[in-house]
Chain A
Amino acid sequence: VSDLVEPADQTVREDTGEIRQETMIINMGPQHPSTHGVLRLLLELDGETVVACKPVIGYLHTGIEKNLEYRTWQQGVTYVTRADYLAPFSNELGYCLAVERLLGIEAPPRAQVLRVMFGELNRISSHLVWLATSALELGAISVMLYGFREREVILDIFEAATGLRMNHAYIRIGGVVMDLPEGGDTQVRRLLDVMPARISEYENILSENPIWVERNTGVGHLSAEDCLAFGVTGPILRAAGVPADLRKDEPYAGYETYDFDVVTRTEADSYARFAVRVDEMRQSLRIVEQCLERLEEPGPVMVEDAKVGWPARLSVGPDGIGNDPAYIHHIMEESMEALIHHFKMVTEGVHVPPGEVYQVVESPRGELGFYVVSNGDHRPYRVKIRDPSFSNLQATATMVEGGLVADAIAAIASIDPVMGGVDR
């Protein structure tokens, strides 16, 4: 890639032996519809062939990790959820599990079920965005419309339960912020009713579509060895035949008690990644189904310990989710002690015992890790977000070099990078 600066002219092509006259350097992005956000690519082209590719990142760096060091542990949730913005529940879960391990606590079972259910719904909605945008780039506009249509249904569920369509801050240290609202389970069940047929619909449109097959088969190949060498995880690694899924390998939030399969393929190309993601949506539906059964049993959704649990209660009002009037009445009118407690928890929060943990969760894009260090303060000493897209993008050059520019588009789409997570 270093010869990007000075294009190598008059060199002999290895494959054909002919003299290469000159190469051209093309700058793609950071504002380009096919780069999935603000990813910039420096491409060195020989005609239409990519000779060298250098991804340039950092355009969405917002200093989330630095900011976390100046906020309380509980406020941290609202920061991490904004990293990989298509998988907010994964971010929240990874962070909260890490802090809970430092605190030595565990969220109640019902909270864990809700975490799993929203995590899996989120996996589907994230894969739908991937499907929609990738299809759009390769010309399948109708699939784009379908993908966003179904995602909307899932976002409606999120909105009903958390008050927000993205950046929910729903999963909190010690549990979740509130239980499923009335009718929430019906909403989820309605999704379970329609989704299987919709997934088959995408497959009917795409999986044997000559253009889709042609544009994806053999494109962006990355072998299992290369995946491991570059730190690539998630659907890309599973599409290379490695059944690595942290939900199975290092279970958290009770994943070991759910019945689901790890989807793998062996072709290790863009098409295999498409197939893996589509089948993963089906597996996620299976898990959501099991979650609904478990949710029939009521229970607390936040740890009992008042020194850890978030004090505020939320409820659904006529204008959406907000403060619970009964709770406000309690702290403002009835109990001085409750008000003091509320004030202490909101402004100062919990003190976390010194130590360090590295907690992983399987986000829609692979291994999402949180390296969290505490020095005993009420704010994190250090939080490192190991975002899967960051490592996955390292393999871009290997995937696209030697191929055509048009194939680079399909290859990058198959990585499914989310720059909010990459740049943090």
Chain B
Amino acid sequence: VNPADLAERARARFDDVSVARGEVTVFAERGQLVDALAWLEAEPDLRFDFLSSVTATDWPGQEPRFWLSYELRSTEHHHRIRVKVGVPSTEPHAPSITPFLPAADWHEREVWDLYGIAFDGHPDLTRILLPDDWEGHPLRKDEELGGVDTRFHGAFMPPVDRRTTT
């Protein structure tokens, strides 16, 4: 399916659809996420039956600050679509899709772990990559990279995010 046709098809349900670099992105409201994914899976000519990935991006200073992106794939029609959901900084929550799509389980835990976005209704929303007692959510842009000064020929080189020239 060519991306323009797929986008046209998606406009039947979504108001905000964009096509860029051969990829189709639809924007959904937080509350509509579960219904949106169910619709994309159920439509016989779309059949997005496979969730590849769930992840987030952080844009401090903007609202919504976070964007969740769900990469969907159809193993039947071999096409892809991305569903994006904005999450405000004041309320970093989103509905969990794990109860009806187990593939999202660890991906949602990872987003919670690294971005601090909570998924309501997730059966076991615990940290997954970092230790349980870790503080903070390191992929947020306001978290430091961390690291120590490295000695090199008698001088000290600070970690890359604290160098004056980057």
Contact = CB atoms under 8 A, between A and B. Distances in A.
Contacts of A2: 124
Nearest to A390: B106
B53 A386 contact: yes
Contacts of A249: 75, 78
A207 interface: no
Contact of B50 (A65, A67, A69, A228): A228
A358 B82 CA distance: 9
B79 to A, nearest CB: 9
A5 to B, nearest CB: 12
Given A66-B145, A386-B55, 5 more contacts: A2-B124, A250-B78, A358-B53, A373-B57, A382-B58
A371 interface: yes
In order of increasing CB-CB distance, the 5 nearest A-B pairs are A231-B103, A386-B53, A58-B129, A384-B55, A249-B78
A66 B52 contact: no
Interface of A: 1-2, 57-58, 61, 63, 65-67, 69-71, 101-102, 228-231, 242, 244, 249-250, 355-358, 360, 367, 369, 371, 373, 379, 381-382, 384, 386, 390-391, 393-394, 423-424
Contacts of A69: 145
B20 interface: yes
A382 B57 contact: yes
Secondary structure dominating the interface of B: mixed
Secondary structure dominating the interface of A: mixed
B49 A228 contact: yes
A309 to B, nearest CB: 21
9 contacts: A65-B114, A66-B138, A69-B145, A231-B52, A231-B107, A356-B23, A357-B23, A358-B52, A371-B55
B139 A231 contact: no
Query: Which one of B53, B114, B127 has the greatest number of beta carbons of chain A within 10 Å?
Result: B53
B103 A229 contact: yes
Contacts of B101: 229
